[in-house]
Copies of this chain bind each other. A is one copy, B any other.
Amino acid sequence: MADGSEKNAVVSNKKVIFKDYVSGFPKESNMVVTIDENLKLKVTDDSKNILVKNHYLSCDPYMRLLMKNQSTEIFDPYTPGAIRMPGLTAYGGFYEVCAPKKGEYVFVSAASGAVGQLVGQFAKLMGCYVVGSAGTQDKVELLKNKFGFDDAFNYKEEPDLNAAVKRYFPEGIDIYFENIGGKMLDAVLLNMRVRGRIAVCGMISQYNCDQPEGVHNLMSIVYKRVRIEGFAVADYYPQYSKFLDFILPYIREGKIKYVEDIVEGLENGPTALIGLFNGRNVGKQVVVVASQ
Contact = CB atoms under 8 A, between A and B. Distances in A.
A212 to B, nearest CB: 5
Nearest to A172: B73
A219 interface: yes
Interface of A: 72-74, 181, 185, 194, 200-203, 206, 211-232, 235
B212 A218 contact: yes
Contacts of A72: 223
B216 A213 contact: yes
Contacts of A231: 222, 225
A230 B235 contact: no
13 contacts: A74-B223, A181-B218, A200-B221, A212-B218, A212-B219, A214-B215, A214-B216, A220-B230, A221-B229, A222-B230, A223-B230, A227-B229, A228-B229
Contacts of A213: 214, 216
Given A181-B219, A194-B73, A219-B203, A225 B214 contact: no
Tell me the dominant secondary structure on chain A's binding face. loop
A225 B232 contact: yes
Contact of A218 (B73, B185, B194, B220): B185
Given A200-B218, A225-B232, 10 more contacts: A74-B222, A74-B224, A202-B222, A203-B218, A211-B216, A212-B217, A212-B218, A213-B216, A215-B216, A227-B230
Contact of A74 (B200, B203, B225): B225
A222 B200 contact: yes
Contacts of A222: 74, 200-203, 230-232
A74 to B, nearest CB: 5
A114 B275 CA distance: 52
Contacts of A220: 230
B221 A218 contact: no
Nearest to A196: B230
A218 B178 CA distance: 12
A213 to B, nearest CB: 7
